[in-house]
């Protein structure tokens, strides 16, 4: 399913992941330091230790059963609404600064609900890329084709449920 086919009104709360794509370039900061508009040295959070304060996925992968939680946001409608209210450029209307905190909050609530449903020892990877997970490739493995320049934004967090022997179909319990 392509990102523009996802419905912002549908909940994507517990997508079982059989395989997860790992990329050392995500973990070691190579991706983070690529320049982009307004940030000549890449992501400003990289210098704050974004990758160093998160676990390396390859060290924890086998300890958990993994689920993706997605939050879908209609950026195109949001930008049109902002443009009708304010004298902003297209780039200003699509700037994540004005929408990302609310989207991230909803996503975190979904991830926390899934984690709490199974085990207090569950782990949430709020920025999977900082842990070395290649999110675009991982989601394509379960049929979700994410877009790098979208009209429909899809944010993803991963939830790891501790593995307990005796579960069926790879479920944690």
3-state class of 111 per DSSP? helix
Asked if the model's pLDDT at residue 170 lies above 60, the reply is: no
CA of residue 66 relative to chain centroid, distance: 13
153-162 average pLDDT score: 94
Parent domain of 140: 3-73+100-162
The per-residue pLDDT for range 74-96, each reduced to its tens digit, is: 888 888 888 899 998 888 877 77
Residue 79 lies in a domain: no
CA 32 to chain centre: 15
Q: Tell me: pLDDT of 138 over 60.
A: yes
98-to-75, 129, 130, 150, 172 alpha-carbon distances in Å: 11, 22, 22, 16, 37
16 falls within a domain: yes
Does any domain span residue 130? yes
- Tell me, yes or no, whether 47 lies in a domain: yes
- The answer to whether residue 172 is domain-embedded is no
């Amino acid at each position: 399913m392509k990102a523009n086919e996802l419905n912002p009104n549908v909940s994507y709360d517990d997508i079982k992941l059989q395989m997860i794509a790992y990329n050392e370039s995500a973990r070691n900061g190579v991706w983070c330091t690529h320049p982009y508009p307004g940030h000549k040295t890449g992501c400003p959070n990289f210098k704050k230790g974004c990758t160093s304060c998160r676990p390396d996925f390859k060290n924890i992968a086998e300890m958990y059963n993994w689920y993706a939680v997605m939050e879908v946001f209609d950026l195109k409608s949001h930008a049109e609404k902002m443009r009708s209210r304010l004298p902003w450029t297209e780039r200003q209307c699509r700037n994540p600064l004005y929408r990302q905190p609310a989207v991230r909050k909803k996503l975190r609530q979904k991830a926390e609900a899934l984690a709490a449903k199974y085990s207090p020892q569950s782990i949430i990877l709020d920025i999977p890329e900082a842990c070395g997970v290649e999110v675009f490739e991982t989601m394509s493995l379960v049929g979700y084709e994410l877009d790098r320049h979208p009209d429909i934004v899809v944010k993803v967090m991963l939830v790891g449920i501790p593995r307990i022997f005796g579960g069926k179909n790879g479920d944690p319990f």
